[in-house]
Structure 1
């Protein structure tokens, strides 16, 4: 039977995976992708505010609140905003393949790392005890595989390494911002 912590993490990462919706939108229209992505920031902010004011809107708010970790229940959680801002600026500043690769990494590799870390993460990383070697290994493998959609294998290895190192940042939640910006920036440099 799956424990509560793992169930919560899976729900939480389903939201992360929704970031992939911006990849086809980006290929369709950068402007549309940026408008929709930018619109998520005030929506999330309002949702958090309304929940704090004890307004219960049916559907969306209870789901988002269920995705919070126990220590996040009574605080404003910035992690989703960091991710949206990171994805927004990756789409704004980087060529489509580099931005798409960055979005795939922050959406899929981060989700896989978190789920693996919660399920199997026994060996903690010394500079960030909230992360495990098992989760980081999952991030690297998934990041490498998704990078292959946009880059050759040599560059994909480098981008996976960059994403994995950025994901291990010791500042809570900031990995959601620095992974898309860092991976997208290195991806742009690799494109020449």
Structure 2
């Protein structure tokens, strides 16, 4: 028995000294060092759905930023999302070039899917305060691509057909460019810690994107104050903008980035969806592109609603 105690006295300090500093008992919060709080300790440090509860997460990879972020993780996530975005656009380029899908439908499907997948990828980035800037590299890459093709510095007919209305390179410098700029703005300003950015992108991608598809096919009855918009399109924007927003909010809430009172959340999202739908229906498209008006109005209303 005495040998066991002697061994323990020698081994425990050595083992404790080689542990990462953030896991040593002397550096843990006082509320987590007592054995009576073992369940709390496990919940805070090992929960699959609570990524923000840990004040000092275990540092992995190359901790060059000093706040637990991993440059390896963020670089890998950025490369993965860029590859996915390129594959998505290339797929619709291929389909539209071979007339397997209508050009307008291809453009809107890229509009809907790419933004939502970009937002859904945010959880794979690290907890570093710089992670949002790594994520922003993805739409920034697309931004540079649109500018070079829009200025005809490089020619890519497939890209032009898949994301423009009339197949003209200069169109890339309008709606598509505004679209990726909003993605950058939402990631940098709001990131995954605020419902505002989530709702704004959901309204731009899901609501506005689906409204155009439905409006073109079933929009025979036009809105009196704007003959270019239909009741079917506006109704679909309100419904799908609302549903996509709720779905994405639930996604981030389930992962623990924020906690919401769902009764009031449903009401607030309905208000944002209604206001965004009204703005989208106005005859101002020739002056202000929907990819600017819809997300910016959504940001303002959602900021007030979730304040």
Which TM-score band (shorter chain)?
Answer: 0.7 to 0.9
Query: Paired residue for 2:105?
Result: 10
Query: Paired residue for 1:181?
Result: 296
Question: Root-mean-square deviation (CA), in Å?
Answer: 2.4
Instruction: State the Cα distance separating 1:65 from its structure 2 match.
Output: 2.1
Q: Give 3-state SS (helix, strand or coil) of 1:131's partner.
A: strand
Query: Paired residue for 2:170?
Result: 76
Distance 1:82 1:131 in 2: 21
Distance 1:182 1:30 in 2: 22
Asked whether the 8 Å contact 1:90–1:181 carries over to 2, the reply is no
Q: Mind listing any 5+ residue stretches in structure 1 that lack a counterpart?
A: none
Distance 2:230 2:210 in 1: 12
Query: Paired residue for 2:189?
Result: 93
Q: Give 3-state SS (helix, strand or coil) of 2:170's partner.
A: coil
Match of 2:116 among 6, 17, 20: 20
TM-score (ref. length: structure 2): 0.53
Aligned residues: 180
Query: Paired residue for 2:206?
Result: 108
Question: Structure 1 85/126 Cα, relative in aligned 2: closer, same or farther at 3 Å?
Answer: farther
Distance 2:280 2:148 in 1: 28
Query: Paired residue for 1:166?
Result: 279
Instruction: State the Cα distance separating 1:176 from its structure 2 match.
Output: 0.7
Query: Paired residue for 1:144?
Result: 242
Asked whether the 8 Å contact 1:116–1:135 carries over to 2, the reply is yes
TM-score (ref. length: structure 1): 0.81
Asked whether the 8 Å contact 1:25–1:32 carries over to 2, the reply is no
Distance 1:89 1:26 in 2: 14
Asked whether the 8 Å contact 2:160–2:169 carries over to 1, the reply is no
Instruction: State the Cα distance separating 1:56 from its structure 2 match.
Output: 4.4
State which structure, 1 or 2, has the greater radius of gyration over its C-alpha atoms: 2
Instruction: State the Cα distance separating 1:161 from its structure 2 match.
Output: 0.5
Q: Comparing 137-146 with 73-82, which one deviates more in the overlay?
A: 73-82
Distance 1:153 1:46 in 2: 41
Q: Give 3-state SS (helix, strand or coil) of 1:122's partner.
A: coil
Question: Structure 1 123/21 Cα, relative in aligned 2: closer, same or farther at 3 Å?
Answer: same
Q: Give 3-state SS (helix, strand or coil) of 2:188's partner.
A: helix
Instruction: State the Cα distance separating 1:139 from its structure 2 match.
Output: 0.3
Q: Give 3-state SS (helix, strand or coil) of 1:129's partner.
A: strand
